[in-house]
A and B are shown apart, each in its own frame.
Chain A
Amino acid sequence: MNLTLKIWRQKNADTKGKAVTYQVADISPDMSFLEMMDVLNEQLIEKGDEPVAFDHDCREGICGSCNLQINGEPHGPDRGVTTCQLHMRKFKDGDTIVIEPFRAKAFPVIKDLVVDRSAFDRIQQAGGYISVNTSGNTQDANSIPIEKDHADMSFYAATCIGCGACVAACKNASAMLFTAAKVSQFSLLPQGEVEADRRVLQMVEQMDKEGFGNCTNTGACEIECPKGISLENIARMNREYLKASVK
């Protein structure tokens, strides 16, 4: 496959970026999107140009690092996959592909396609944990009976890899789906219920502080989420927050 790539190039956070056009040839349809990016970078390095900076780590869809906005959608046109799991067979020979960083005030660009998503870490740190005694007499987790439905829902929420696709897809750059998943994964379990009120209040407060937008319930986040995190989680967060704030 021969492709035209329009890639956002930006030297650092302080400079203005722009879209630069590149050509890549002989791309195999079996390559992953990141492998195609590797081919481009080798090409650039051989020519003595600066390679395109992009985030990646595990390349198997579990780390949430490879956050690219491809042709107007986070992680590209495929559903339920991260950028590293996106195959070039989803594109046609001769296609033009626009590749940009995830855009949000809370996700400032570091370089080219790499953005700083530490806002997510700070939301997590604000309450996305449980306080347990680890002094040597820790209780076996399986000794606490947990309703199967709740265990499943908590597990589904916990599959969030924090990639930021929800923010990127949202017209308001809202982080509600991420925050809601992190709130839900704990509050659905007896271990997390104890701190549920404080958790939801603090995490939402931090989310607002970071400058993310509000939720319009368009559902774009749920569609674009590589892990299929459901809007049900946002409703749960809304319920919990309401409950916690009237107490």
Chain B
Amino acid sequence: MAKSALLKSSLAKKYWMAFTGLFLCLFLVGHLFGNLQLLIPVGEGARDQFNEYALFMTTNPAVKVLSYLTYLSIIFHAIDGILLTINNRKARPQGYVSFKPSTNSMWSSRNMGILGTVILAFIIVHMAMFWGQMKFGGLDDTIYTTANGEQVEDLYTLTIKTFQDAQYGLLWAIAYAVAMIAIAFHLSHGFSSGFQSLGINHPKYNGFIRKFGLAFAILIPLAFAVIPFYIHFVLEKI
């Protein structure tokens, strides 16, 4: 019983959801620190630093292990979410004539699936635009040598140009912000919910977990969302 209990049971699905979700929260923090380098004033220094960082992130063996864990987590989190949603729909084949869930629960907690779908669509577009370009040779003709003598692909220029584009730059920034809002709502429930699913619930710490989760859900996506607007409106044009 113990084996299937950790794979197939309803609680197991929740553990994996929580575990992968909380791991992805850590990933967000790491990703944000990388992105903040885009705020550095335009110049060879900024371009070199960001591109060298991108090279390190795609070649360092330890980071590679972490990134494969991240991909696995995203895939697992999404598949698990779909399985849970299907299961949950089946549990109430005949709906209510009148159902008022807003009287007893938060909107975000009831719409994690929809929010997750928006986020997944964002991740796919996001990776195709930036990560995919780098990984599958779209940036091969932009390779140059930095001041430190490193051969790098120019992901920096691609990123800055995307958001500074006269025609679509602002639209991309707005689309990015919409995705960040979805992440914010997803995290506003998901962060503390992850702890509850793993059994971490104690009157002494619940308040802290909830407040920290809420602050995390607001501040991290906000910091992400500020960057493309900063690039579009404030950063010197390249």
Contact = CB atoms under 8 A, between A and B. Distances in A.
A211 B90 contact: yes
Given A100-B96, A231-B196, A242-B199, A220 B104 contact: yes
B43 interface: no
A237 B5 CA distance: 13
A214 B98 contact: no
B199 A219 contact: no
A201 B5 CA distance: 8
B214 to A, nearest CB: 15
A216 B201 contact: no
B99 A173 contact: no
B149 interface: no
A121 to B, nearest CB: 18
A235 B200 contact: yes
B54 interface: no
Contacts of B61: none
Interface string B198-230: 111111000000000000000000000000000
A174 interface: yes
B14 interface: yes
A238 B99 CA distance: 28
A187 B1 CA distance: 20
A247 to B, nearest CB: 7
B101 interface: yes
B101 A103 contact: no
B96 A103 contact: yes
A72 to B, nearest CB: 3
Interface in B59-112: 84, 87-88, 90-101, 103-106, 109-110, 112
A73 interface: yes
B88 A241 contact: no
Interface stretch (A57-65, A122-130, A202-210): A202-210
Contacts of A105: 90-93
Given A238-B198, A238-B199, A205 B1 contact: yes
Contact of A217 (B1, B2, B97, B109): B109
A162 to B, nearest CB: 18
A105 B86 CA distance: 14
A232 B93 CA distance: 29
Nearest to A210: B91
Given A72-B103, A201-B5, A245-B5, A238 B92 contact: no
B142 interface: no
Given A171-B101, A201-B5, A211 B91 contact: yes
A227 B109 CA distance: 23
B88 A103 contact: no
A218 B110 contact: yes
A213 interface: yes
Best-buried of B2, B13, B96 by chain A (most CB within 10 Å): B96
Contact of B88 (A77, A213, A237, A244): A213
Contacts of B199: 235-240, 242
Contacts of B87: 172, 213-214
A71 B94 CA distance: 16
Given A207-B10, A216-B112, A69 B96 contact: yes
B234 interface: no
A103 B94 contact: yes
Contact of B91 (A77, A173, A239, A245): A173
Interface of A: 6, 8, 19, 69, 71-73, 77, 98, 100, 103-106, 169, 171-174, 176, 201, 204-205, 207-208, 211-220, 223-224, 231-232, 234-242, 244-247
Smallest CB-CB A-B distances: 4 pairs:
A239-B199, A235-B201, A72-B100, A213-B91
Interface of B: 1-2, 5-6, 9-15, 84, 87-88, 90-101, 103-106, 109-110, 112, 189, 192-193, 196-203
Given A71-B98, A231-B196, 9 more contacts: A98-B97, A103-B94, A104-B92, A205-B5, A207-B10, A217-B197, A245-B2, A245-B9, A247-B2
